């Protein structure tokens, strides 16, 4: 007679969770945004869970990729870098696509970086992407998803 042993008895939840690092989310819907003559391929984080996980646990990201966080309505959005391993720049973007402000964020830093006014979108890209292209607050992103209001 075979005896089945519960996996929970062999590997308590806490010990197993620590032994296996969480996998980054890589299967989100995608869109292409433009700003001036520049294009960026973004994953769309549209649900609470997708926004909460964001770019956590990634060790790298291709140069012309990023993640666009889409919120149901405009608000002051604040981000931090807990469990995020790569340096990022966050662009806080109003409904009309205008970049309200930019914030450079360091890996694993728990300081918050907030929009200077209510926004519906936040675009995270590799740090330096905006500055290398001389892109700044006041410029307009095109290709944003249509609001669901």
For 121-133, write each residue's pLDDT tens digit.
Answer: 999 999 999 999 9
CATH number belonging to domain 24-132: 2.60.120.1140
pTM for this one?
A: 0.84
Q: What is the pLDDT of residue 24?
A: 84
CB under 8 A, 24+ apart: contacts of 100-109 = 100/137, 101/137, 102/130, 102/136, 102/137, 103/79, 105/79, 105/80, 105/81, 106/81, 107/81, 108/81, 108/82, 108/83, 108/84, 109/80, 109/81
For the chain, give the mean pLDDT: 88
Q: Is residue 96 over pLDDT 70?
A: yes
């Amino acid at each position: 007679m075979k005896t089945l042993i519960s996996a929970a008895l062999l590997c308590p939840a806490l010990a197993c969770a620590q032994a296996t690092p969480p996998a980054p989310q890589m299967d989100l819907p995608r869109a292409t945004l433009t700003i001036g003559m520049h294009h960026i391929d973004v994953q769309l984080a549209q649900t609470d869970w997708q926004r909460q996980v964001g770019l956590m646990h990634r060790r790298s990201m291709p140069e012309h990729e990023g993640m666009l966080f889409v919120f149901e309505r405009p608000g002051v959005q604040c981000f931090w870098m807990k469990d995020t391993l790569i340096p990022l720049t966050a662009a806080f973007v109003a409904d009309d696509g205008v970049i309200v402000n930019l914030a450079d964020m360091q890996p694993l830093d728990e300081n918050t970086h907030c929009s200077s006014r209510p926004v519906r979108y936040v675009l995270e890209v590799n740090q330096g992407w905006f500055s290398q292209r001389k892109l700044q607050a006041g410029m307009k992103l095109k290709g944003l998803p249509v609001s669901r209001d």
